[in-house]
Structure 1
Amino acid sequence: MIVLHAFANMFPGGVGETKDIRIQWALEEMGLPYEVRGLDYLGGEADSPAFAAISPFNQIPVLEDDGPDGRLIIAESCAILIHLAEKSGRLMPADEAGRLKVIQWCFAAAGTVAPVLSMIAMTDAGFMGRDPATRDFLVGLAHRWLAGLERQLQGHDWITGDAFTIADITLADVLREIRETDLMDGYPKVQAFYHRAFARPARRRARELTAERMGVAVEAIA
């Protein structure tokens, strides 16, 4: 059985912004049976010794999967998504070149695009100060990354081609960080990609399940 350790609650500004939703989205896309264990984040459950034993940085999400070779415990959202794609045979090409391209774009989204967009969001929220020069620098990097995504999306709907993959889940979820800015306005293919991904039935279902688990209105979940 697959068990997803996810948020049961979150401080107001963080509701709907957490990475566990990208895992639930993938599980809904793949049709794999799973259970969700909601952690009382506000009550400190993520900081407990029990959770530290399965999450190196006390971060959510974590996935447990009881398979034929024993129980797997996987932290880090990209690693979880790769495991689920390989387990299900879905959202990942079967050929090695296609597989590596999807993995490349998972890491590009999480390791290159995400940090800059997160820092812009944190700067706008006041968590990193409000130095205009710092924001201008970050925005310049963001435009470089967005321009690369725009080129990559030329001629097809999804980031690695015509098929929807875990790389699209990762990238679309990363782009949530700037949804309330105008940064995507100059990149019509990126903007269309973002809306196309979030219109998928499995994403809407993951959103509804996340809202239900956290006891909030579905509109509170981006």
Structure 2
Amino acid sequence: MITVFGEGRGFRVVWTLEEMGLAYRLRPVDMLAGVEKDTEFLAINPSGFIPAIQDGDVIMVESIAIMEYLMSRYGPTPLVPDAHDPAFPAYQQFLHLGEAGLAASTFFVVVTRILAPEAEQQNWTAGKAQATFENRRKLVARQLAHSPYMAGDRFTAADISVTYALQFAQRTGNATLDEAERAYVARTTERAAYKRAMDTCHATREWVATLPK
């Protein structure tokens, strides 16, 4: 049984598992309570960040790496185009851009503007991270101008990656999605696997329920 530790970016992992029809359990990790008290989780990831997975003797962290592991170990899956498919380069680019260019950048803006001392909340680094997010978002816009999904005409794991990043930015007030982005997120989140992932991820669902409509 695959165990997923933590939500947050772990939502990507749960969504991937649901798309693939793999058995798993979600083990909550309360980051706000302080992971230093969670000895079971620290035995899995002594760095104390989420998500992580345990799959038999395999322990992994980093949401995109976990997704790639699951799709390689338990595939083949339609979530990954064949390496010779013309869609493969775009798939690979946006799978990683969803974290490296989008989610990571907006994460540091959000935590700075929520947790930093007031005098530092609008610092240069936060501004640079926000500018990076907006810059990389242009690549998403260009892709959506000529295809419904990040790798072309069909849904792939790249869409799990990018959808999570766009939703995180929107839900934290760090971005207002434009018409094309809203339509894209509506397409990806209408999937049954997304809805099952939301049903499983109680903390994510409860947080979203508190947000303004």
Distance of 2:128 and 2:183 partners within structure 1? 26
SS in 2 for 1:162: coil
| Seq. identity, % | 25
Distance of 1:166 and 1:45 partners within structure 2? 29
Distance of 2:98 and 2:164 partners within structure 1? 9
Deviations 1:112-146 (A, max 9, x none): 12233223333553636343877665544333222
Distance of 2:58 and 2:89 partners within structure 1? 22
Distance of 1:217 and 1:135 partners within structure 2? 24
Query: Of residues 5, 26, 40 in structure 2, which corresponds to 1:36?
Result: 26
Deviations 1:43-74 (A, max 9, x none): 545654543342252112111223xxxx2111
1:205 Cα offset (Å): 1.6
SS in 1 for 2:6: strand
SS in 2 for 1:161: coil
Q: Is 1:62 the counterpart of 2:52 in the alignment?
A: yes
Larger fraction in helix? 2
Query: Of residues 57, 66, 78 in structure 2, which corresponds to 1:80?
Result: 66
Asked if the contact 2:29–2:41 (Cα under 8 Å) also holds between the matched residues in 1, the reply is no
Asked if the contact 1:184–1:191 (Cα under 8 Å) also holds between the matched residues in 2, the reply is no
Partner of 1:2: 2
| TM-score w.r.t. length of structure 2 | 0.78
Partner of 2:100: 111
Asked if the contact 1:46–1:60 (Cα under 8 Å) also holds between the matched residues in 2, the reply is no
1:24 Cα offset (Å): 1.0
Query: Of residues 8, 12, 15 in structure 2, which corresponds to 1:25?
Result: 15
Q: 1:85 to 1:126 in 2, by over 3 A?
A: same
Asked if the contact 1:21–1:206 (Cα under 8 Å) also holds between the matched residues in 2, the reply is yes
| Unpaired stretches in structure 2, ≥5 consecutive residues | none
Name the aligned partner's letter for residue 106 of structure 1.
L
